[in-house]
Amino acid sequence: MHISSSTIICVCASPFTADEASNYGNAYRRKYNMKCVTWIFELLGTDKFRACSRIRVLAGLRLPHKVHTWATSSGHIIHDDFPDTHLRANIQSHCYKLPCSWKTFILHMLGWALSLDMDSLPYINPKNDRRVALITAGNSGIGYFTVLHLYLHGYVVYIAGRSKTRGMKSIENLKKEAKHTAGRYSRPERLSRFFGELHFLEMDLSSLASVLEAVAHFITCEKNLNLLINNAGNSFLPYTTTPDGFELQLQTNYVAPFLLTTKLLPLMEKTVDFYPEAGPPRIIYITSVTHRFVLRYFNLSTRFHYRPNALFTWIRYALAKTAGIHFMKMLALRNPRLICASVQPGIVMSTNYFAYWTRLPIIGILFWCLFQLFSFIFGTSIEKGAQAVFKCCVDPALTPRNNSGSHYDLFKETLPASVASNMDYAAQSWIWTTHQLEKRNIEFS
């Protein structure tokens, strides 16, 4: 749901009734010509949002000055820094304190209100400040919208993928969509915002040789790398091994991103030295809520090639994503000048992750219905997931000292599961991976 510039989102604390809330809403509309006033009733008692007998405006976008002045003087706004930074997702921060069942319900019902104000993040001019980003699988899903925002904010983006045809087609679509978005800019915005660049980089994560070739080609093209987003991966597939001898999900979700990142680390370290004004380079790993299914640590050599595959494919995927979080924590420890973070972009069901299951004959229809129902109840839109990723990519408030090694669930920094948080397990994952790659004649400086 789009929030217009004259929208107020209110939380109505008991003792307000529906009729009283409606009266207040009508008063707002009449007095300030508001297009929309949304009322959300507190269901959990007055202690959660502090007992009160007045409205509290928890979130809003660019309120007209007279509305903001009236609301502030009346004690209706509880924003600490509103409206300078626009939407700060106060509702979300409160909801995370609620019991899990209520949190899931309220975050879903208010999901459209928790979107990030993209205009609050910095725009750059690539002619004066060339910041380079590389993202895997940027031609669809979360990656596509992340690339769109980076391009609109002036980044030079390399989209790594297997198919050059699909990659070039996505670049064409991205440019069209960016042009359409820019058509809605005001005149001052058009003068201060510049498109970046879009390039395709051929890379197949199921082949470590392809990853090494892509890295070699990229290094010849660019002198700096400010942002690396490990977004690509396979999920929930039958047991398959790659030509490199790894289980497919483990290689595409963890081993190949490990290799790609470590081979690009020297370039990112040089970026710190030669382009300090651009801020510390960032490495972002896209993880999944399934990492919370891992209740104990398993050696990554454990194959989990058992039946039923419908169960063990989830375990293999969860282990790979857990290893990815371990990787970010170890990188943060070993590279203190960089920002390394894992991002869980919500439960995004409307991607191709489940294509294998939905395309099965007959039973695929059942899986499709199940996934659609689950998405409706718990799901997050692709756009919102991409906004969470983009915020971690460019938010100037993040620093290596305070945020490197962190894990983000949508827009909020949280702790990952206990196994993923354990640094001893992270070290074991790192050692196992380096040994496995060295066995395949891949060395690290």
CATH number at residue 331: 3.40.50.720
Give the per-residue pLDDT at 100.
36
CA dihedral of 110, 115, 120, 123, whole degrees rounded to 10? 180
Last residue of a domain, one of 80, 115, 150: 115
Shared domain check, 281 and 245: yes
Comparing 70 with 308, the larger pLDDT belongs to 308
Give the mean model confidence (pLDDT) for residues 32-59: 34
- What angle do the packed helices 363-378 and 100-109 form, to 10 degrees? 90
In a domain, 364, yes or no: no
Domain boundary (96, 115, 134) is at: 115
Domain containing 157: what range?
Answer: 122-345+380-439
**Among 115-119, 185-189, 347-351, which is the least confidently predicted range?**
347-351
Question: Which string of DSSP letters, residue by residue, matches 387-440?
Answer: HHHHHHHH-TT--HHHHTTEEEETTEEE---HHHH-HHHHHHHHHHHHHHHHHT
Among positive and negative, which fits the CA dihedral 283, 289, 292, 293?
Answer: negative
Q: What angle do CA 129, 131, 132 make, to 5 degrees?
A: 150
> How many percent of the chain have pLDDT more than 70?
68
Distance (Å, rounded) from C-alpha 200 to C-alpha 164? Answer: 7
Q: Is residue 368 part of a domain?
A: no
Residue 352 domain-assigned (yes or no): no
Distance CA 108, CA 116 (A): 16
Lowest mean pLDDT among 212-221, 373-382, 420-429, 434-443: 373-382
- In this prediction, residue 358 has a pLDDT band, given cuts at 50, 70 and 90, of low
382/83 Cα distance (integer angstroms): 27
pLDDT at position 82, please?
32
Residues 84-107: b if buried by 16+ CB within 10 A, e if exposed: eebbbbbbbebbeebeeeeeebbb
Query: Is 318 in the same domain as 188?
Result: yes
Note the pLDDT of residue 159: 98
Q: What is the count of structural domains for the chain?
A: 2
- With a cut of 70, say whether residue 58 has pLDDT above it: no
**What's the confidence (pLDDT) of residue 71?**
37
Burial 392-418 (b: 16+ CB within 10 A, else e): bbbbeebebeebbbbbbbbbeeeebbe
- Do 107 and 126 lie in one domain? The reply is no
Of 325 and 119, the one with more pLDDT? 325
- Tell me how crowded residue 29 is: count the other CB atoms within 10 A of its CB: 15
**Same domain, yes or no: 92 and 138:** no
Residue 380 has a pLDDT of 75
The gap from C-alpha 366 to its chain's centroid, in whole angstroms, comes to 29
pLDDT at residue 27, as a whole number:
52
Give a yes or no: residue 193 inside a domain: yes
How sure is the predictor about 329, in pLDDT bands with cuts at 50, 70 and 90?
very high
Asked if 67 and 211 sit in the same domain, the reply is: no
Q: What radius of gyration do the chain's Cα atoms show? A: 23
pLDDT at position 360? 67
| pLDDT at position 127 | 94
Phi, psi of 83 (to 5 degrees): -105, 15
Most confident region among 22-26, 58-62, 80-84, 364-368 by mean pLDDT: 364-368
Instruction: Give the pLDDT mean for 83-101.
Output: 35
Angle of CA points 397, 277, 327, to nearest 5°: 60
Residue 71 lies in a domain: yes
Residues 104 and 131 in one domain: no
**pLDDT digits over 199-234, tens only?**
999 999 999 999 999 999 999 999 999 999 999 988
The reply to whether 367 falls in a domain is no
Tell me if residue 171 falls in helix, strand or coil: helix
Residue 343 has pLDDT above 60, yes or no: yes
The pLDDT value recorded for residue 179 is 95
Give yes or no: residues 149 and 83 share one domain. no
> Rounded to whole angstroms, how far apart are CA atoms 223 and 245?
33
Instruction: Give residue 346's pLDDT.
Output: 81
Residue whose tokens read 């973070």: 341
Instruction: Judge contact between 433 and 425, C-beta under 8 A.
Output: no
State the Cα–Cα distance between residues 133 and 147, nearest whole angstrom. Answer: 9
Last residue of a domain, one of 62, 97, 115: 115
Q: Are 380 and 388 in contact (CB under 8 A)?
A: no
309 with 366: CB under 8 angstroms? no
Helix 309-334 to helix 423-439 angle (10° resolution) is 100
Regarding whether 163 and 36 lie in a shared domain, the answer is no
| Residue with more model confidence, 321 or 14 | 321
In a domain, 391, yes or no: yes
Are residues 326 and 245 located together in one domain of the fold?
yes
Amino acid at site 100: C
Do 146 and 232 share a domain, yes or no?
A: yes
Which band of pLDDT confidence, cut at 50, 70 and 90, is reported for residue 367? low
Q: Is the pLDDT of residue 285 over 90?
A: yes
In this prediction the pTM is: 0.74
pLDDT at 74: 38
Considering the domain architecture, whether residues 69 and 132 belong to the same structural domain is answered as no
With H, G, I as helix, E, B as strand and everything else as coil, classify residue 373.
Answer: helix
Residue 2 above 70 pLDDT? no
CA distance 427 to 14: 50
Q: Are residues 110 and 191 in the same domain?
A: no
Residue 237 lies in a domain: yes
Quick one: pLDDT band at residue 359, thresholds 50, 70, 90? Answer: low
Give the residue with greater pLDDT, 231 vs 70.
231
**56-65, 71-80, 337-346 — which one is most confidently predicted on average?**
337-346
- Compute how many other C-beta atoms are within 10 angstroms of the C-beta atom of residue 172: 11
DSSP strands (E only) in 272-365: 282-286, 339-344
Report the distance separating Cα 116 and Cα 387, nearest Å.
Answer: 6
